Amino acid sequence: MLTLQLINDNPEEVIARLAVKQFDGREPIMRVVELDKQRRASQKRRDDNAAQLNKLAAQIGALMKQGQRDEAEQVKAQVAALKTANKEIEDQVKAAEDAIEEILLSVPNVPYSGVPEGKTAEDNIVEKTGGPMPDLPADALPHWDLAKKYNLIDFDLGVKITGAGFPVYIGKGARLQRALIQFFLDEAGKAGYIEIQPPYVVNEDSGRGTGQLPDKEGQMYHCQVDNFYLIPTAEVPVTNIFRDVIIPQDQLPKKCCAYSACFRREAGSYGKDVRGLNRLHQFDKVEIVRIERPEDSYAALEEMKDHVQSLLDKLGLPWHILRLCGGDMSFTSAITFDFEVWSGAQQRWLEVSSVSNFETYQANRLKCRYRGDDKKTHLCHTLNGSALALPRIMAAMLENNQTPQGIVVPECLHKYTGFTIID
> Residue 85's pLDDT is what?
84
β-bridge pairing 348-357 and 335-343: antiparallel
Q: Is 270 helix (H, G, I), strand (E, B) or coil?
A: coil
| pLDDT, block means (10 residues), the chain with 423 residues | 97 98 98 96 87 78 74 77 86 95 97 96 97 96 98 98 97 98 98 98 97 86 96 98 97 98 79 84 98 98 98 98 98 98 97 98 98 96 98 98 97 98 97
Contact of 249 with 371, CB cutoff 8 Å: yes
- Give residue 227's pLDDT: 96
**What pLDDT is stored for residue 56 in this prediction?**
79
**Contacts of 56 by beta carbon, 8 Å cutoff, 6+ apart:** 75, 78, 79, 82
The model's pTM is: 0.93
Whole-number pLDDT of residue 270? 57
The rounded distance, in Å, linking the Cα atoms of 366 and 205 is 9
Query: How many CB atoms neighbour CB 171 within 10 A?
Result: 12
Q: What pLDDT shows up at residue 271?
A: 57
Which domains are assigned to the chain?
4-104 (1.10.287.40), 121-422 (3.30.930.10)
Tell me how far apart the alpha carbons of residues 273 and 289 are, in angstroms, rounded to a whole number: 29
What string of H, E and C letters represents the secondary structure of 61-113? HHHHHCCCHHHHHHHHHHHHHHHHHHHHHHHHHHHHHHHHHHHHCCCCCCCCC
In terms of Cα–Cα distance, which of 302, 299, 283, 406 is closest to 351? 283
Q: Among 391, 142, 397, 388, which residue's Cα sits nearest to residue 277?
A: 391
